[in-house]
Chains A and B, each alone.
Chain A
Amino acid sequence: DGGITQSPKYLFRKEGQNVTLSCEQNLNHDAMYWYRQDPGQGLRLIYYSQIVNDFQKGDIAEGYSVSREKKESFPLTVTSAQKNPTAFYLCASSMSGRPSYEQYFGPGTRLTVT
């Protein structure tokens, strides 16, 4: 059964700690994306990757880091430098990095930092 998985579903951390969110896909998609969603707002792009071992900053990359060592995996680290890390984090993938290709989302991770 193909799809995108994110874990954990809920994550709680203390301020000052780094935390890594997992994203795995078995759709054989080339491109993967990380978004953040805050209440009442649209999705904002954090990082994206078109191919293994390559990734680009999105619109709000400060305080985040990623890696793309395998086609299937695109983990996101929320560092202590991120000022307002509490949010709903969504991972997506698409066939390739073309705008005509739809993006498909994982179930998301709700991160709460106190």
Chain B
Amino acid sequence: RKEVEQDPGPFNVPEGATVAFNCTYSNSASQSFFWYRQDCRKEPKLLMSVYSSGNEDGRFTAQLNRASQYISLLIRDSKLSDSATYLCVVNKVDSSYKLIFGSGTRLLVRP
């Protein structure tokens, strides 16, 4: 089983739609969780950290479900500019310094 698993997509949605991605992680002792966004042929950019209580940043909401070992990202009122690959990131429990990156979920927002 992969340490971090994501549905590769693509998720193809119309502008204005609400879309949600899930990501599962294998180690229940993981403590740090992030969502990064990566545009085609560019570097990943931090979208948001995921806290136990969940957090919201504008149209983006991230949730953590420790019992089921998954994190989610909800995007409301999708924009064309949201088209990108979204990477789920979790810390590696056997080292304080390593992050494990999922392969990403691709989102395409159409006009």
Q: Are both chains from one complex? A: yes
- Interfacial residues, chain A to chain B (CB-CB below 8 A): 31, 35, 40-43, 45, 48, 50, 56, 58, 88, 90, 97-100, 102-108, 110
Q: Which residue of the partner chain, among A40, A42, A99, A107, contacts B101 with CB atoms under 8 Å?
A: A42
Beyond A48-B98, A99-B32, is A104–B42 a contact (Cβ under 8 Å)? no
Closest to B106 in A: A40
Number of chain B residues whose Cβ lies closer than 8 Å to a Cβ of chain A: 24
Beyond A40-B103, A41-B103, A99-B32, is A105–B43 a contact (Cβ under 8 Å)? yes
Closest to A56 in B: B97
A51 to B87, CA, bound (A): 27
Pairwise interchain contact A58-B43, C-beta atoms closer than 8 A: no
The majority secondary structure among interface residues of chain A is: loop
Pairwise interchain contact A105-B45, C-beta atoms closer than 8 A: yes
- Interfacial residues, chain B to chain A (CB-CB below 8 A): 4, 8, 31-32, 34, 41-46, 49, 87, 91-92, 96-104
Give every chain B residue within 8 A of A45 (Cβ-Cβ). 98-99
Pairwise interchain contact A48-B46, C-beta atoms closer than 8 A: no
Beyond A42-B87, A42-B104, is A99–B97 a contact (Cβ under 8 Å)? yes
